[in-house]
Amino acid sequence: MIYVMPAPQEASSQAVATGLGGRRGLECTTLALEARATSCPPTTEGKSTPVGQQADTQAARFGFTTGQVVQEFGWDDDVDEPLRAALEAALGGELVDEDYDDVTDAVLVWWRDEDGDLTDMLVDAQTALEDGGKVWLLTRKPGRDGHVGHDEIQEAATTAGLHATSTFAAGDDWSATRLANRGR
C-alpha cells in the first residue's frame, strides 16, 4: 500500500512510505514532488488513511513509485487495462505516451510478434530513459496470438545493449520481462 505524509512546511517534499509485501516493514523516503494526497501510516502524531487502493501484486512487482515518469509504447486495445490502471495508481498519475520527449524514469513496452522489429523498438524506447532507468517489456503469453519467444526477446535485448533479468506473469494474457542495461 502506498502512503504519503506531508513534510514540514519548509519545502514541497513529501515522505512516501511503501508497505513492503503488503505487510510489515515501511520504508520512508523523502521525494521532491507535489502533494497529491496527504496521509501516511499511523504514527504517534495522529491517524492516517491509505492513498488509493492496494495495487494488485502483479503491478507491485514493477517497482514503480509515486512521482515517477513512465513512458508507454505499443498501447493497443488488447493491453491489460486493469494492470495499466494499477500501475498508474502506483505512479500517482498517467503513463506518458510515445511522443513524450522529456527524461523518463522507466519504459513500458507492449509488444506482439506482428509489431515489427523488437530491436528497433528497444533502442527507440531508451532514447529518453534516464541512466539506470527500468525497461519493462510486456509480451503475449505462450499460446496467445502475438506471442514472442524468449530467444527472440534475448536476441533483441542484447543487440539493443540490454539483457533480460526476470520474467513474470503480468495478467491473464501478458508476461513482463525486465530488461537491464548491459553496462560497458
| Average pLDDT, integer, range 138-147 | 96
In terms of domains, do 34 and 104 share one? no
In terms of domains, do 144 and 177 share one? yes
Q: State the pTM of this model.
A: 0.69
In terms of domains, do 98 and 121 share one? yes
Distance CA 87, CA 70 (A): 9
In terms of domains, do 125 and 62 share one? yes
Q: Which distant-in-sequence residues (6+ apart) come within 8 Å of 99 by Cβ? A: none
What's the domain count of the chain? 2
| Average pLDDT, integer, range 72-92 | 95
- Residue 27 in grid coordinates: 520504508
What secondary structure letter does DSSP report for 91?
A: H
Where among 11, 39, 54 does a domain terminate? Answer: 54
pLDDT at 162 over 80: yes
Instruction: Give the domain extent around 7.
Output: 1-54
**Nearest-CA neighbor of 136 among 81, 77, 87?**
87
- Residue 35 in grid coordinates: 502533494
In terms of domains, do 95 and 20 share one? no
In terms of domains, do 49 and 65 share one? no
